[in-house]
């Protein structure tokens, strides 16, 4: 079992009572997500408490849970209750969220002066210079706008998009479809009677020339591309 000094509290309110257990933070969260983990590897002690900090054991478990089996009750507390997060785990979550945000900016933005992609390392450095803190619990989409606005005084960023109207002959359409999905968002697609594919595609401006080069190679130039 886990060392009790490293444990956090997981708790569940049920029938107007609080039930607490001492668990490993990350293992408990993995168990809650449905990963196959032995509950005894999650628990620091095999007790159900009404106040874990005071060491007060919860009485009358059967009346509330219909069982006195510690493993079953602990599993219910983890799956239905709240798990205290350690500072280290919060830091890891924030770091993961930061990588996601940096990745999305790097994938979709470019330097408007050079029309070139912005390397992730440059974005991370600018975030440090702008003293940007990432919220470990807010979705990436909610934080992107704020992060970008704070970066702009330090790092010129453009999210310019380009749209193309494309017609791919039937003999190339199947093999080329994956390239369309790889580079951009297909706004509209129509399969013509001839088997040709007509599509409207939107993508970050920074990768547009790479897309044109690759689709031309794939179709040997047998394609119609018009910028919208």
User: At which of 130, 151, 172 does a domain end?
Assistant: 151
Tens digit of pLDDT at every position of the chain (228 positions)? 566 788 999 999 998 999 999 999 999 999 999 999 999 999 999 999 999 999 999 999 999 999 999 999 999 999 999 999 999 999 999 999 999 999 999 988 888 888 888 999 999 999 999 999 999 889 998 999 999 999 999 999 988 888 999 999 999 988 899 999 999 899 999 999 999 999 999 988 888 888 999 999 999 999 999 998
Calculated CA dihedral for residues 25, 81, 15, 43, nearest 10 degrees: -30
* 181 and 167 both lie in a single domain: yes
Residue 115 in any domain: the answer is yes
* Residue 145 shares a structural domain with residue 179: no
Whether residue 191 sits in one domain with residue 136: no
CA distance 199 to 221: 17
Q: Final residue of a domain: which of 83, 112, 129? A: 83
pLDDT computed for residue 48 by the predictor: 96
Based on the domain organization, do 65 and 77 belong to the same domain? yes
pLDDT of the residue at 37: 94
Residues 93 and 25 in one domain: no
Residues 16 and 61 in one domain: yes
Q: Indicate if 216 and 167 belong to the same structural domain.
A: yes
- Number of domain units in the chain: 3
Identify whether residues 96 and 142 lie together within a single domain: yes
Helix 25-32 and helix 70-80, axial crossing angle in degrees, nearest 10: 80
Q: Return d(Cα 208, Cα 190) in angstroms, integer.
A: 21
Closest C-alpha among 188, 207, 181 to residue 108: 207
Q: Specify if 95 maps to a domain.
A: yes
| pLDDT at residue number 1 | 55
> What's the CATH code of the domain at 61?
3.30.1250.10
In a domain, 8, yes or no: yes
Q: Cβ neighbours of residue 10 under 8 Å, at least 6 residues apart?
A: 20, 21, 22, 23, 28, 77, 78, 81, 82, 83, 84
- Residue 53 placed within a domain: yes
- Backbone phi, then psi, for 23, in 5-degree steps? -140, 165
29 lies in a domain?
A: yes
* pLDDT at site 219: 93
Domain of residue 73: give its range. Answer: 4-83
For residue 156, tell me if it sits in a domain: no
Nearest to residue 130, comparing CAs of 112, 116, 148? 148
Please give the pLDDT value at position 2: 64
**Residue that finishes a domain, picked among 83, 102, 128:** 83
Question: What was the pLDDT predicted at 134?
Answer: 94
* 51 and 27 within one domain: yes
What's phi and psi for 31, nearest 5 deg? -60, -40
């Amino acid at each position: 079992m886990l060392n009790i000094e490293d444990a956090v509290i997981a708790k569940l309110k049920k029938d107007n009572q609080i039930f607490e257990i001492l668990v490993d933070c990350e293992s408990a969260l993995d168990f809650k997500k449905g990963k196959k983990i032995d509950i005894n590897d999650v628990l620091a002690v095999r007790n159900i408490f009404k106040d874990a900090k005071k060491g007060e054991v919860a009485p009358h478990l059967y009346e509330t849970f219909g069982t006195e089996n510690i493993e079953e009750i602990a599993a219910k507390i983890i799956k239905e209750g709240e798990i205290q997060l350690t500072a280290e785990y919060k830091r890891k979550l924030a770091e993961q969220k930061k990588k996601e945000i940096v990745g999305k900016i790097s994938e979709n933005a470019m330097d408007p002066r050079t029309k070139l992609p912005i390397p992730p390392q440059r974005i991370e450095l600018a975030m440090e210079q702008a003293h940007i803190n990432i919220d470990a619990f807010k979705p990436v989409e909610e934080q992107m706008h704020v992060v970008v606005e704070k970066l702009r005084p330090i790092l010129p960023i453009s999210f310019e998009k380009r749209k193309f109207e494309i017609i791919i002959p039937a003999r190339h359409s199947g093999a080329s479809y994956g390239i369309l999905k790889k580079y951009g968002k297909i706004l509209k697609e129509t399969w013509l009677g001839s088997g040709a594919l007509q599509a409207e595609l939107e993508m970050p401006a920074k990768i547009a020339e790479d897309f044109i080069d690759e689709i031309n190679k794939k179709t040997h130039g047998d394609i119609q591309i018009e910028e919208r």
